[in-house]
Structure 1
Amino acid sequence: MFEKAGAYVQASTATVISQDTVSKTAHVYFDWGTEPPYAQLYLEKYCKLNPVFPTILLFGVGETHCFPDCVPREEFCRTRFAKEWLMPQGHIDGLFTIVDKSATSCAVFSVFRRMNDGFVDDEMRRRFELITPHVRRALLIGKVIDLHKVQAAQLADSLDTLAAGMFLVDAMSHIAYANASGQMLLREASVLRATGGRLGAIDPVANQALQETFARSAQGDAAVGRRGIAMSLKARDGARYVANVLPLTSGARRNAGAVYSATAVVFVHRATLDMPSPPEALAREFRLTPAELRVLFAIIEVGNASEVADVLGISEGTVRTHLHHLYGKTNTTRQTELVRLVAGYSTALLR
């Protein structure tokens, strides 16, 4: 299916990958078109040299961007990442969007084009934006379900072990099935309710959005679009929950929906603490520019100014200029102090 998504976007490769901003590691969720040796090289080495990070963390979830939005194209082409990882594969251009973001990690859906495909055009961007909600929905629901557990046990039993509440509903929001966690949420009646057997949210605004999404689910994925992805629900005590709605009227999912006469499956779980990642927090606190942010984190990963210049594709003088600005903005005088500053922001997330 992911191969079909990449082909529809008219791309040569398509990837959903998550990078941890604290441990500096990467994890591939889905990949199509990347040769295995290059995929392994990215995980082992080039995820730490990718100049798109950490600038990408300043963008909002669901926004479509091309790589020059992070780094000027000429500068990007001079980076070690471009010269050693992208260009040998023949990549020339691409699009990306953040599909999930937390205080410690960022999951990105990206597509690349090779030389013979040409640069990104309006049609590619249009198709990319059409398919992005489906990719994001698949990733978020996959994380909630924990597919390894589902594959290791009987389906009904494994659904009852989910911490998230799961409901099968029809277009009129009638509940056809609820797992154990879902039944608990209904009994507590703090964030969800079941009036006359119909699923609804306690918060009126969220409830209206839920009902509209359920009604649209009968018409399939295209009708739902971006609706139903990470919908915010507020409990009576002010606690925050998240709902993800997946239509059951498209593709192979129709079989699952037909068994219960349902048009959508809904997952509801407690929202995680909404904290900015270290790069976001630092950029906001010290008013750092994207270029200064890149140099700051390159210093952490690579070392001295000459090595950073080589990795980022800029002159050593430019690196030292950015360092001078960083010292002034953060009230530091040495690189070791910058390292401690970043470490402090990262450590705070692990407490």
Structure 2
Amino acid sequence: MQQASVERFSYLIGGIYDCVIAPERWADILNEICAEFGFATGALSVASLTNMKAVVNAVSGSDLTEMTRNAIGYGADIIELWGGAERIRQYPLGEPIVQSQAVRQEIISGNRYYREWALPKGLFDAVAVGLVRDRMMVGNAIFSQHESAGAIDDAQVNGLRLLAPHIRRAVTISNLFDMKTVEATTFAATMEALTVGVVLADEESRIVYTNAAATAMLAAGDPIMTRHGRIAVESTTTSATLQSAVAQAARDEAALGQKGIGIAVPRPNGAPLVIHVLPLRRGHMRARLAQRAAAALFVASASGPPQMSHVALNQLYDLTPAEIRIFELICEGHTRDAISGLLGVSVATVKTHLLHVFEKTGCRRQVDLVRLAKSLTFPL
């Protein structure tokens, strides 16, 4: 298939962000993504790790009740179909994983879910994108390919790769709202009810609005503050990262990419926090919430243990999700052959990604990567 136009991508991304305040639109957006890239079905799901139940948030090309029933009845089989729980935990967030490339064909062919549900519907392959994976939940978007469409091609994978960070940001922030629709008339009341800090800022990062939680944070100067009239944090480097994300959100939300997702806020004391940036300028639904604001900043508690800062790796070195994941695995002591098995890619692909990591970071040896990783470790 051909690559989607810039205008079409911008439209899809705008629709994804509108789902933050109108979650009932997810099914429509999944329909449009499927239509754009030629997928037969799409599903956006979140599974709670506290009660081990799978919850389907939205689906395209299928009945919601049927999809929910299958997710529960075939839960273990679906996990096996993607290589098992351990393999799934290794897949890089935001990177499309093609099932037929990651898992051996004999495993797929012998899988109960594949034989009893997918194959009879003509769904012979799929691509998954990890959206969130922490101690509280795991979220994924999965798109299935009908046999009449042929093999999943590069245009489909590249299209999802461009949309993935925007879907990740929208899903992450939506969870802060508890997936409730936000109306313009009740926006302020909704923000005030949130326990996370919310700051609305213009394109220069000047504060337009703060909810009660954010007001208290500003008064304490922890973790957010104002510096030269702009929203900031104690670290000047992190402040620059935050302000850059806000400016990018105002200029072109489609180019925001991974910037502004889970910006780690190093703190001398207190629980670790992260900041998520949501563009507001474009889109009728978001723009009418606060006309002077270019972005909404959500200051929330971290949901995982200390780890390497993905934001720093992307901002400083322009590493892709796949390159970041290989960087992590190398620093954990895995060999290239082991990484190939964990991620379901060839050793040649691992070597190519690792070469890019060395080139982008300026490191020459793996020990240099380990040192760099330690310098970028923040509580996320």
TM-score tier, shorter chain, comes to 0.7 to 0.9
Task: Pick the structure with greater CA Rg.
Answer: 1
One-letter amino acid matched to 1:184: A
2:158 maps to 1:126 = yes
Match of 1:202 in 2: 234
2:264 to 226, 232, 237: 232
Determine the structure 2 residue equivalent to 1:169. 201
Does 1:15 pair with 2:43?
Answer: yes
> What do the CA deviations read for 1:251-287 (whole angstroms, capped 9, x no partner)?
2245336x441111111111124289xxxxxxx9xx9
Structure 1 equivalent of residue 179 of structure 2: 147
Q: 1:156 to 1:238 in 2, by over 3 A?
A: closer
How many residue pairs get aligned? The number is: 281
- Identify the residue that residue 304 of structure 1 maps to in structure 2: none
User: 1:252/1:6 Cα in 2 relative to 1: closer, same or farther (>3 Å)?
Assistant: farther
- Residue 295 (structure 2) aligns with: 264
Change (3 A) 1:62 1:32: same
Alignment of 1:1-351 (within 5 A): 1-21=29-49, 23-36=51-64, 38-50=66-78, 51=80, 52=82, 53-54=84-85, 55-148=87-180, 150=182, 154-237=186-269, 239-253=271-285, 255-256=287-288, 259-274=290-305
Question: Which amino acid in structure 1 is aligned with residue 221 of structure 2?
Answer: A
User: Residues 71 and 91 (structure 1 numbering): CA distance in 2 closer, same or farther, change over 3 Å?
Assistant: same
Q: How many Å apart are 1:115 and its aligned residue?
A: 1.1
Contact 2:279 2:294 in 1 (8 A): yes
For 1:209 and 1:171, the matched residues in 2 are separated by 14
Q: 1:107 to 1:71 in 2, by over 3 A?
A: same
Please state whether the residue corresponding to 1:154 is helix, strand or coil. Answer: helix
Shift of 1:160: 0.5
Q: Calculate percent identity across the aligned residue pairs.
A: 24
Indicate conservation of the 8 Å contact 1:60/1:98, yes or no: yes
Tell me the TM-score normalized by structure 1.
0.73
**Structure 2: runs of 5+ lacking an equivalent:** 1-28, 308-331, 343-380
Q: Secondary structure at the match of 1:60?
A: coil
- In structure 1, what residue type is equivalent to 2:167? V
- Say if 1:157 and 1:167 are closer, same or farther in 2 by CA, change over 3 A: same
Per-residue CA deviation, residues 30-64 of structure 1 (Å, 9 max, x unaligned), is 21112345303323301222112412112222222
- Paired residues of 2:260 and 2:277 also in contact (CA < 8 A): yes
Partner-residue secondary structure (3-state), 2:287: helix
Q: Write the distance in 1 (CA, Å) between the matches of 2:274 and 2:294.
A: 20
Is 1:220–1:247's contact at 8 Å kept on the other side of the alignment?
A: no
CA–CA separation in structure 2 for the residues paired with 1:72 and 1:5: 27
After superposition, the Cα gap between the structure-2 partners of 1:165 and 1:92, relative to the gap in structure 1 and judged at 3 Å, is: same
Q: In structure 2, what is the equivalent of residue 300 of structure 1? A: none
Q: Within 2, Cα distance between the matches of 1:244 and 1:62?
A: 16
The answer (yes or no) to whether the contact 2:95–2:164 under 8 Å persists in 1 is: no
Whether contact under 8 Å (1:20, 1:104) holds in the other structure is yes
Matched to 2:305, the amino acid is D
User: Following TM superposition, by how much is the alpha carbon of 1:133 offset from its aligned partner in structure 2, in angstroms?
Assistant: 1.3
Cα shift readout 1:126-174 (whole Å, capped 9, x = no counterpart): 11111111111111110012233857x9332221010111111111100
Are the aligned partners of 1:217 and 1:224 in contact in 2 as well (CA < 8 Å)? yes
TM-score of the pair, normalised by structure 2:
0.67
Distance apart, 1:21 and its partner CA: 4.9
Counterpart CA distance in 1 for 2:272 and 2:227 is 21
Stretch moving more, 42-51 or 142-151: 142-151
State the shift of 1:70 in Å.
Answer: 4.2
The residue type paired with residue 5 of structure 1 is I
Distance 1:254 1:27 in 2: 26
RMSD: 2.8
C-alpha distance in 2 between matches for 1:144 and 1:131: 21
- CA–CA distance in structure 1, aligned partners of residues 157 and 61 of structure 2: 19
Q: State the SS of the aligned residue for 2:213.
A: helix
Q: CA–CA distance in 1 between the matches of 2:135 and 2:286?
A: 36
